[in-house]
Amino acid sequence: MTDIISSPAVSTVIDHGPDGTDESLEDNNRQPIRANVIQAAKLARDAETKARDKQHVKGKLTARERLDLLLDTGSFEEIGRFSGGNINGNVAGAAVITGFGEVYGRKVAVYAQDFSVKGGTLGVAEGKKICRLMDAAIELKIPVVALIDSGGARIQEGVAALTQYGHLFRKTCDASGFIPQISLILGPCAGGAVYCPALTDLIIMTRENSNMFVTGPDVIKSTTGESISMEDLGGGTVHNTTSGVAHYLGEDEADAIDYARTVLSYLPSNAGEQPPTYSYMATRADREVAARLATIVPDNDRQPYDMTDVIRCVVDYGEFVQVHELFAGSVVVGFACIDGHPVGVVGNQPLVNAGSLDVDASEKLARFVRLCDCFNLPVVTLVDTPGYKPGAEQEHAGIIRRGAKVIYAYANAQVPLVTVIVRKAFGGAYIVMGSKAIGADLNYAWPSSQIAVLGATGAVNIIHRRDIQKAKDAGKDVDAVRAEYAAEYERTTVNANLSMETGEIDAMIDPEQTREVLEQALRLLASKRRVKRTGKHHGNQPL
């Protein structure tokens, strides 16, 4: 780490003697150090001591300690350390630290707000430092990681501070989809400041000390009379489980930062590059794991199972990094590797609402597919869904508008798309979950899969409504008649044969073949590249 404090020459000069005065250890063979350099080094060291005193009592790390956890050892190169400060006036610098470092040997741009300096608030100096960093990140085509711990806009600087947020919003939008952007909320983030992380690709929060809200508890109390704590209003748990604003809930700062490092290991540095690859050697254990797939999914199509068990059987080392794990549980999304190549994995979760799509699950799924498409990660979709979640609540919450986001995400994606129907794929949910019709490249189905407009029971109740009524009027066993019709419907319509005959399914595969087939499919599609289909500026995605 390049740091004025760590300079051997400076550190000897600012060592304190026994009487508390500065003790110079210079000799005639050493070049004299200018007094202002010594003063700057003392300011820097004192500022970090002050930061530790303030942060540690709250159970929080300092901005520099956080950077040490995030970046590879010794890789941080700070820019503008004393920018916004006054060395002669004993002001060490602005309330944000900016610079570059490495994560697993790959360059990233970072900024960390320092709550020990003016509450980490953003003023003109801080805004200019961050904008300068983001300009450099876009030019260098490297990811940006933000460590946020701030009281918001600096009130004393008025509209000038707010203007800086406008500049930051614009820069974040310029970088969106071009370089990965990750925000770690490690303290307060309030007011207009919340929209900086909201515009980034991933938001990571901690279980304690982490808060995000547009209007705080005091404002809410004075305007609506509602009393609510900061934690219940915008804590890490709320935004991970209820609002869906955050994508990961860290147990502590170290856990949150480790998750950010992990996610970066799956993403390329920019949209013009392919994701990094890793060596992988198949072993006998792979065959044993693959064999498990034959027993994970129950024969009873109404019995739930954990889709993450299926995912871990088809990805390298069983490693699956979930995104939005605590939100909209009827779908699971996350990063994994197959044969050493990073992929995005999407799957319905039968453990929650039978894997049906609701408003939250639709947005979660669509957002993740778009993220993968931005950064060249193939999308593997594992389907087991009875359809959209029914009910007036869902209709009034906008399932039409929000469900359309899934269609938009898949239909516009130009990365390799491979889909496997594991069990059920009914109605509109079959179409939107990476079907061939919507743009998937290769589609497969397990032998027990069911593909239809409706499940057998629902379809029979509509198709044979009059026949069932006649049977009832004749005194016959209605349940037996309905079961007979349902069995015939399943034999002729619900299975995957029709989809194979029409070319919507490329092949029927045994569960144990799934990983092998995915490897072959991804190798086949590795050379797929983007094409400009029309001359439009951009589409009008449902929002």
**Catalytic residue selected from 101, 187, 191, 236:** 191
Q: At what angle do helices 284-296 and 514-524 cross, to 10 degrees?
A: 110
Residue for token pair 């899934």: 406
487 is catalytic: no
- E-assigned strand segments in 229-361: 248-250, 321-323, 331-338, 341-348
**Catalytic residue selected from 51, 146, 246, 429:** 429
Distance of CA 68 to the CA centre of its chain: 22
If 0-12 CB within 10 Å is exposed, 13-18 middle and 19+ buried, where does residue 409 land? buried
From CA 434, how far away is CA 411, in angstroms rounded?
8
Check: CB of residue 229 under 8 Å from CB of residue 220.
no
The conformation of residue 537, written as its DSSP 8-state character, comes to: S
Residue for token pair 């983001």: 134
Check: CB of residue 138 under 8 Å from CB of residue 178.
yes
From CA 14, how far away is CA 25, in angstroms rounded?
9
Q: List, in order, residues 6 or more apart from 308 with CB less than 8 Å away.
A: 320, 322, 332, 347, 349
**Catalytic residue selected from 119, 136, 177, 192:** 192
**Catalytic residue selected from 427, 428, 439, 458:** 428
Phi-psi domain of 93 (left: phi exceeds 0; alpha: psi -120 through 50; beta: other) = left
428 is catalytic: yes
From CA 58, how far away is CA 188, in angstroms rounded?
13
192 is catalytic: yes
Q: Which residues are catalytic?
A: 191-192, 428-429
